[in-house]
Amino acid sequence: MSASDTKERIIIFDTTLRDGEQSPGASLSIAEKLEIAQQLAVLGVDIIEAGFPVSSPTQFEATRQVAEQVTGPTIAGLARANKEDIEAAARAVEPAKKKRIHTFIATSPIHMEHKLHKTSEEVLKMAVEAVAFAKTFTDDVEFSPEDACRSEMPFLIEILTACIEAGATTLNIPDTVGYILPYEYGLMIRQLSSDVPGIDKCIISTHCHNDLGMAVANSLAGVRNGARQVECAVNGMGERAGNAALEEIVMAIHTRPNFLIEEDYTKVLTTNINTKQIHRTSQLVSQLTGFVIQPNKAIVGANAFAHEAGVHVDGILKEKSTYEIMTPETIGLSGSRMVLGRHTGRHGFTDRCEHLGFKLTENELERAYQRFLEVADKKKEVFDEDIAAIINDEIRIVEQIYKLEYLHVVSGTGTLPTASVKIKIKGEIKQAAACGDGPVDAAYEAIRVATGLSPKLESYSIRAVTGGKEALGEATVKIKDDGRIFIGRGVSTDIIEASAKAYIDAINRMVSTKKGQQPELKAGL
Ligand SMILES: [Zn+2]
């Protein structure tokens, strides 16, 4: 970048809490959404799409609380092109200092005919009325023609023109089904930016799905051809194969700022993102959703900065840039790791929590500190990852209807694995013992007997939070009940205990989701 370069900013629109939360099994509690939203504000996203308020009372409340409590970013609520949806979105985002209503309707022949049962004239009229109605609540109105990439270009131009006249300020071009290729998407954005009257006064946005693995490439092709807002989600979460990964978009712009503007290398692109918060944000989203990050995931995977090949390692030791296009420090992985131990005082621990970005109440801090001391007793060195795991485990956000009081497991070669548990249920202690195929199986069977519940175990995984034989183990389980999936997590230096806690956590989530409650309506955008 030279002094003569002019900067053009790309608006980062984060949809982790809306599209990302639509990933099967990723439902978050209101408190968890708030925690993620606070971190997104620290990360520096421009817009947080907090939810689809009309879809359920919980979605409404979550969006409303984000609008009330999170400052900095614009808070957006999603709405289909009808009055009820728009009113719900408007009421939910109303407390925010900067608010946006994002309304959408499908414009592809296949969606208009088979899903909406409407003609293109009717769709156009609904879109215009929706934008005009949204405009009565806020100036900041975004319109999305759903399934834009399979829509006919003349109709797309017509509906976008009409929506601009009705007051839309951002026009989003979603590749709802993840079908388009980068070259085509770039051409499409370029044609719209030249052929839609008035579009030069609006922001063109991308919203690309990853069904063919093109979400990030398509979004950047859009940027190269004039889009100035990118919709994306942390860790690439989203419907099916997911949405464009926020961290990949941001680091591509950060690493190649000169090369994303067509034929003009004097301009550089930039974002408002504090890249040093990327790693932490990614970890938080992974922990709260239970979606484990694949090790080879770009930017945030555990191996993203691990060089194994001897010739590479040799090169890096001589000169970092031989094989490293970004430094781990840029995304907040500190080169020198901070280590705490049992002699770390309350003050040092509090400092570290603040440095890691956790905002804890006095009470939460005290609980986390006590738990830290227990862990530090067993494990000599406590790393940042351990602290994050402890806090996320200890500051449980779901109500603990069932609480593990005691667990004893006997297993070994030649013995039948047996477990006994005590579980506190509303002040009352229930005991049970059971045997199983292995120690975890025995513990789970004992929990089922004690609670009288038997949700189907869909998946189980355990990982070490850091290296070493004393590492904290983090168990993640998915259980299924009534067709719905619930994720639970548990952390301990004892992996059987971590597994039992994860199972009970999932059960608590299942029980606290009121029985008979209808599954939320999912927006197809
Ligand atoms: Zn989407």
**For residue 240, how far is its CA from the centre of ligand 1 (angstroms)?**
9
- Please tell me the predicted confidence (pLDDT) of residue 302: 83
- State yes or no: pLDDT of 516 exceeds 50: no
Query: In the structure, what pLDDT confidence band is assigned to residue 6 with cuts at 50, 70 and 90?
Result: confident
**For residue 207, how far is its CA from the centre of ligand 1 (angstroms)?**
6
- Please tell me the predicted confidence (pLDDT) of residue 509: 85
Residue 440 and residue 417: Cα distance in Å, rounded?
Answer: 9
pLDDT digit string (tens) for 67-88? 999 999 999 999 999 999 999 9
> What share of the chain in percent tops pLDDT 70?
94
**For residue 22, how far is its CA from the centre of ligand 1 (angstroms)?**
9
**For residue 206, how far is its CA from the centre of ligand 1 (angstroms)?**
10
The strand pair at 484-492 and 473-481 is best described as: antiparallel
Residue 18's closest CA among 111, 92, 72? 92
Residue 57 and residue 357: Cα distance in Å, rounded?
Answer: 30
**For residue 176, how far is its CA from the centre of ligand 1 (angstroms)?**
6
pLDDT digit string (tens) for 469-484? 778 888 989 898 887 7
**For residue 5, how far is its CA from the centre of ligand 1 (angstroms)?**
34
- State yes or no: pLDDT of 314 exceeds 80: no
**For residue 233, how far is its CA from the centre of ligand 1 (angstroms)?**
10
CB atoms within 10 A of CB 367: 17
Out of 155-164, 398-407, 455-464, the most confident range is 155-164
Query: In the structure, what pLDDT confidence band is assigned to residue 444 with cuts at 50, 70 and 90?
Result: very high
* Beta carbons of 30 and 58 less than 8 angstroms apart: yes
**For residue 77, how far is its CA from the centre of ligand 1 (angstroms)?**
14
Residue type, 291: F
**For residue 28, how far is its CA from the centre of ligand 1 (angstroms)?**
18
Query: In the structure, what pLDDT confidence band is assigned to residue 7 with cuts at 50, 70 and 90?
Result: confident
Q: What is the distance of C-alpha 360 from the center of its chain?
A: 21
**For residue 232, how far is its CA from the centre of ligand 1 (angstroms)?**
9
Helices 83-93 & 120-135, crossing angle to 10 degrees? 30
**For residue 98, how far is its CA from the centre of ligand 1 (angstroms)?**
23
**For residue 208, how far is its CA from the centre of ligand 1 (angstroms)?**
7
Which residue's structure tokens are 């806020």? Answer: 138
- Please tell me the predicted confidence (pLDDT) of residue 463: 83
115, 118, 124, 129 alpha-carbon torsion, rounded to 10°: -90
**For residue 341, how far is its CA from the centre of ligand 1 (angstroms)?**
44
Residue 276 and residue 299: Cα distance in Å, rounded?
Answer: 12
Query: In the structure, what pLDDT confidence band is assigned to residue 384 with cuts at 50, 70 and 90?
Result: confident
Average pLDDT, stretch 111-129? 97
pLDDT digit string (tens) for 28-50? 889 889 999 999 999 999 999 99
Average pLDDT, stretch 102-123? 97
**For residue 147, how far is its CA from the centre of ligand 1 (angstroms)?**
10
**For residue 146, how far is its CA from the centre of ligand 1 (angstroms)?**
9
Query: In the structure, what pLDDT confidence band is assigned to residue 310 with cuts at 50, 70 and 90?
Result: low
Here the tokens at position 290 are 């239970």
Residue type, 98: K
**For residue 37, how far is its CA from the centre of ligand 1 (angstroms)?**
18
**For residue 282, how far is its CA from the centre of ligand 1 (angstroms)?**
19
**For residue 56, how far is its CA from the centre of ligand 1 (angstroms)?**
18
Q: What is the distance of C-alpha 463 from the center of its chain?
A: 20
Query: In the structure, what pLDDT confidence band is assigned to residue 4 with cuts at 50, 70 and 90?
Result: low
Query: In the structure, what pLDDT confidence band is assigned to residue 427 with cuts at 50, 70 and 90?
Result: confident
Residue 103 and residue 111: Cα distance in Å, rounded?
Answer: 16
- Say which residues have a Cβ less than 8 Å from residue 320's Cβ, sequence separation at least 6: 327
**For residue 482, how far is its CA from the centre of ligand 1 (angstroms)?**
26
**For residue 79, how far is its CA from the centre of ligand 1 (angstroms)?**
13
**For residue 239, how far is its CA from the centre of ligand 1 (angstroms)?**
6
- Please tell me the predicted confidence (pLDDT) of residue 335: 57
**For residue 238, how far is its CA from the centre of ligand 1 (angstroms)?**
7
Q: Any idea which of 95-104, 271-280, 426-435, 510-519 has the lowest mean pLDDT? A: 510-519
**For residue 144, how far is its CA from the centre of ligand 1 (angstroms)?**
11
Half-sphere exposure of 160 (CA within 13 A, CB side): 33
- State yes or no: pLDDT of 51 exceeds 60: yes
Q: What phi and psi, each to the nearest 5 degrees, are found at residue 397?
A: -95, -20
- State yes or no: pLDDT of 435 exceeds 80: yes
- Please tell me the predicted confidence (pLDDT) of residue 56: 92
- State yes or no: pLDDT of 24 exceeds 90: no
How much is the mean pLDDT over the chain?
90
**For residue 496, how far is its CA from the centre of ligand 1 (angstroms)?**
38
**For residue 174, how far is its CA from the centre of ligand 1 (angstroms)?**
7
**For residue 276, how far is its CA from the centre of ligand 1 (angstroms)?**
26
Helices (H), 172-276: 182-195, 215-224, 246-255
Average pLDDT, stretch 274-283? 94
Half-sphere exposure of 219 (CA within 13 A, CB side): 31
**For residue 31, how far is its CA from the centre of ligand 1 (angstroms)?**
23
**For residue 524, how far is its CA from the centre of ligand 1 (angstroms)?**
7
Residue 232 and residue 174: Cα distance in Å, rounded?
Answer: 11
- Please tell me the predicted confidence (pLDDT) of residue 410: 93
Residue 215's closest CA among 186, 188, 241? 241
pLDDT digit string (tens) for 331-375? 988 655 567 888 888 888 998 888 777 778 888 899 999 999 998
- State yes or no: pLDDT of 307 exceeds 90: no
- State yes or no: pLDDT of 2 exceeds 60: no
**For residue 303, how far is its CA from the centre of ligand 1 (angstroms)?**
28
- State yes or no: pLDDT of 60 exceeds 60: yes
- Please tell me the predicted confidence (pLDDT) of residue 199: 97
Q: What phi and psi, each to the nearest 5 degrees, are found at residue 391?
A: -65, -45
Query: In the structure, what pLDDT confidence band is assigned to residue 497 with cuts at 50, 70 and 90?
Result: very high
- State yes or no: pLDDT of 54 exceeds 70: yes
**For residue 234, how far is its CA from the centre of ligand 1 (angstroms)?**
13
Residue 155 and residue 111: Cα distance in Å, rounded?
Answer: 14
The strand pair at 456-464 and 473-481 is best described as: antiparallel
Residue 225 and residue 306: Cα distance in Å, rounded?
Answer: 34
Out of 6-15, 18-27, 256-265, 302-311, the most confident range is 6-15
Residue 119 and residue 328: Cα distance in Å, rounded?
Answer: 52
**For residue 17, how far is its CA from the centre of ligand 1 (angstroms)?**
11
